[in-house]
Structure 1
Amino acid sequence: MTQEIDLYLRKSAITRQRERALTFRAQEQRGRRWADENGYTVRKVWADNLSAYTDTVRPEFDKAIGALLADEVPALWCYAADRFSRKGAGAVIPLLDEGKRIVFDYERLDSADPRDRRDIINRAEEAREYSSLLSHRVRDTKAQQRDEGAWLGAAPYGFEIADKETRKLRHAGTWSNLIRIFEATAEGKSARTIAQELNAEEVPSPDGISWGGSTIHRMIRSPVYEGWQAVSLTRGGRSVPYRDKRGERVSVLAEDVEPVPADLVKRARLAIAGHLPVAPEYQRGKPKHLLSGLLRCASCGGGTAIHGRSYRCYNYTVGKPCAEPASAMRSLIEAYIFEEWLGAVLKADLDDGDPLMIAVAERWVALTKPEETEEHRQALAAVKAAEKALERLAEDRKAGIYDGAMGRFYPRLVSEAEADLVAAENRAAEFGGAVDLTIFDDTDMLYAAWEVADDAMRRDLIRLAIDQVTVTRGFRGKPFVGEERCVITWATPSQG
């Protein structure tokens, strides 16, 4: 009766001596031939298409060793010692001490022969030393290439390798798609919406499968689109600009190749960080009636909808539960809210620091000077982003990310982040000049402005001073009394 043996196969792209490492198929054929020649039957074939480096988990190897130690099989065949493990003697001595049979075909070593024990241990140590030396050389080579601005992996989306020697990047045919993604993001379109549009148009994605919001976010955040060499400080973590030995960023772009414009990158990143408002054209519909979106039912807290000639609790109109659904005649409640709005605005005084008039002034500028207001918003957003960058650096240091070699760059990174914050604060301080509020100090002028305004302008004017109106349920036969039925939430200044 023949005994059973398992085969362990591992493939690597690395060549050994002058012989190309055998494929899985070739290794298995060789293992089965050994088994036939030595009276064994192959019970199971284990195979890892992974490196044997010490920091790599090889599930099939672990299972093969487990089966051997558990006496599920009396022997294990492996093509060569460096295919088995590169963790050194520690990987083989426990097996030898347990009397387990391990066969290394290439070296013609067999633990069943006591004379081979020393050679097996020595070969294991040689494999470990070779792995360590190779790893060191690879790291040194990659570090030098990074310092020289070579892009080491596959070209990022929108780029291609310009030269195989320098591995610098240039624009590829997908560059226009990349710019489109940055522009749409900067304008306030969500990553999910952009991904859906690209998929609908069958624009090929970086992975060749489909676009996703996370793909868009990673691209917007990647330093490579600013032209910088990028690395991840932690496995699977965000990309950051690589720093050479002098602590300088390294360009990966070929000569005369331009990155994504800096202002566009900045606006896109502020948008995905949530520091910029969603563009109006990407927001859901605007109110169609004067108080649409402002009224709330006091009973259920839901909004209202026009039903006939009245504003009525929306939940109630669609069959959802509401104990005391609010309802108010449109003409009556609109007239009441307008009179309250008019009185409150004319009474408020900016010179006395009235919070209502400060809020009205802020919103009036946004309404009448949208471009200037948008610049101010972007300046304030840049301040928030710079503050967040400083916080992230502190969090990363606390997490130990800068404990290693990158630690020497931490002071410079903090200095740069603080300089960015100061610049952002100075830019934001440029705004905030005098605002002409004459219209809100003159009753006749304000009435006249209201009379000539169209429906859209009237809605905007009302919202200068009012954030919300809570309405209680009325009773049949009882006239509408605004003071009894409505609670107005007046506008307050923004927090910057």
Structure 2
Amino acid sequence: MGELVAAEAAIVAEIFDRFVEGASLRSIAQDLNARGVPTSTGKSWSVGGIGRIVDAPRYAGLRVRHGEVVAGRTAVWPPCVDVDVWERARALRRGAGQERPRHVYLLTGLVVCAVCGGHMVGSSVNGYRVYACAGHLPSSPGHRRRYISADNLEGQVVEQALVMLEGWEAEDARTVPIASPYEVPDPSANSTAPRALIVIRSAAAMDGVVIGPGARFAWNRLSAEHKAAVLRFLFTVIRIGPSTKPRPVFDAGRADIVPAVLRRP
């Protein structure tokens, strides 16, 4: 396997993130197709294709020989996901016949760690929904434990989104992202940039979304998937820095919420 281009690598990372958060293979494939995201061959996504990606050790930078992972050997290409994320996905696949809880994380694919640039994945810590950093820094022993409350962060981001939607006029609903359909940050420009961050946006995400004074009231009528699509349209990335307050106090200042730059078509 050669090195994937940034857009492909980021889609693979998103697939892993969503699967370990509880999304089914079918729902992931359906969403990618609905967003118009092509496979590496330009075809539509299928359940089998998503499953093969989740099963493949090579996306975690692991070498395989005769169908088995070679211990102590890493690939020459950069991994799309960390080994622990791949192992979580593999464990879930082994228990595919068992019912597993379905947690909805509205910010999947948007939340990254400001320290290492790694994706922060929806997880459960002591029964609480959180976004946890999937990366690690050898020089920072406590880094692997970095996480933030999903409920509080989602509430903060949704509030910012609602303020934006309430201030919009009818013509604003037809705006499209300047970076559409792909936004791939240049890793050389910022050492903390995500290794393979990509957000696929489509103006279709705004279909059926009420703007203006009624936006807040109508928001809860949207499905979780539709809310997530709207947030992916409105924001490019949410960087989470270290907490400056003692737990369990939520530190809203940790979140650098970057809005998308929009233009009218």
Tell me whether the two structures share a fold, i.e. TM-score over 0.5: no
Give the number of the structure with larger relative contact order, counting CA–CA contacts within 8 Å between residues 6 or more apart.
Answer: 2
User: Rg bigger for which structure?
Assistant: 1
More helix, by proportion? 1
Q: TM-score of the superposition, structure 1-length normalised?
A: 0.25
Q: TM-score of the superposition, structure 2-length normalised?
A: 0.44
